[in-house]
Amino acid sequence: MRTLTAVVIGAGHCGLAMSRHLADRSIDHVVLERGQVATSWRTQRWDSLRLLTPSWMTRLPGWGYDGDDPDGYLSATDVADLVTAYATATGAPVVTGTTVTSVRPAGDGFDVETDRGRWHARNVVLAAGTTRSVVPPLARHLPRGVVSIGALDYRNPGQLPEGGVLVVGASASGVQIAEELQRSGRPVTLAVGEHVRVPRRYRGRDILWWMDAVGILDQGADQMDDLVRARRLPSLQLAGSGRPVDLDALQRAGVRLVGRFAGLRDDVAQFSGSLANVVTLADLKLGRLLDTIDDHAGGHGERLDPTPVPRAPLGLDLGSGEIRSVVWATGVRPDFSWLDVPVLDRRGRLTHDGGVTPWPGLYALGLPLLRRRRSTYIDGARQDADDLATHLLERLRTGGDPRTREAS
């Protein structure tokens, strides 16, 4: 058994950002990776995916995009190559091809079991990019012959049979996959629930440039009125292609909209009648965002038209042959099935305060709105890892948990 001060699980951008900050503090550690560096970027993205964030926003501690198209959008392969180059340049102590099978409390820290032996560490940082699609149980009851696939397993239109496709979910993944499938010649129906509509560009700038400039991305988790809800909000309806993929653009491209997928009965998919309400709410939130930008910049920019709301059917017979496949773009979540520490709620979600779990010495990175809105993006790993490394170092210096001391 090998003993270290810290074990970081996952050699993606979060794990490597943490490694850099631990190294800067002279904290001995290892980064365990089940595959190769940036495995998730290579294996859990569809072929045409590009980042939602412009390239200039792809930054890690002491490192960033230095190409000739800072306002472009990196492909998943580009990101994987950038992260791999970062690991090499920083000399991160990565051990690849090592799958963690369990983490459990032991003595003054944790035992980390892997398929290549055991490690002991006083601190463990969960930065694994291993995720799984959130697919509702009713997916098991689709009619025989209808292909069912989660967004993480989708690669390209050729993976699906010819014929109609039902895409469930209208956040970033859902609208991008729906647009790609429609462009491939397949009839697409998109089941729409809560979503966040934004323009790709506003007043001559990328919308994320504005969100950065006005301070929205730096809003702290402690500033959220309802943090639990904020962490569950869907991702922005954007695409790195530069083409608009909001519901207005998709309808003009021929995508049929229906309400939220509410159930399945006798092979009939049932949809909520709330489509008009969720569309109106998204447009109202968009208006408030653009008002904030206009207040910051002065004057008024050109606004998007309200999203047209079609007469949407409330049911669709999936046994008729019209729909040959269903793509579930209903979210993803980390897979902590190997974590034997009592820090998961009854739904299997990690309990934490800004990445600091209730169990001293156990930390997490890469979760939505971990410490600030920026945490949701690659760019957020720099500050989040810095904050957590500072907390970890203080714990080592005091021999306890800084939160416990402050509370007393």
Tell me yes or no: is domain 134-328 CATH 3.30.300.30: no
Domain ranges across the chain: 2-130+335-407, 134-328
pLDDT at 407: 32
CA distance 96 to 11: 8
- CATH code, 2-130+335-407: 3.50.50.60
Radius of gyration of the chain (CA): 22
Average pLDDT over residues 368-385: 96
CA distance 107 to 387: 26
Average pLDDT over residues 263-268: 96
CA distance 88 to 86: 5
pLDDT at 404: 43
Average pLDDT over residues 224-248: 92
In CATH terms, are 2-130+335-407 and 134-328 the same topology? Answer: yes
Taking the mean position of all CA atoms in its chain, how far away is CA 160?
Answer: 24
Question: Any bridge partners for residue 48, and if so which?
Answer: none
CA distance 21 to 5: 14
Helices and strands counted in the chain (H then E)? 10, 21
Q: How confident is the model at residue 395 (pLDDT cuts 50, 70, 90)?
A: very high
CA angle 269, 196, 136 (to 5 degrees): 30
Tokens representing residue 214 in the block:
């006005």
pLDDT at 408: 26
pLDDT exceeds cutoff 50 at 128 = yes
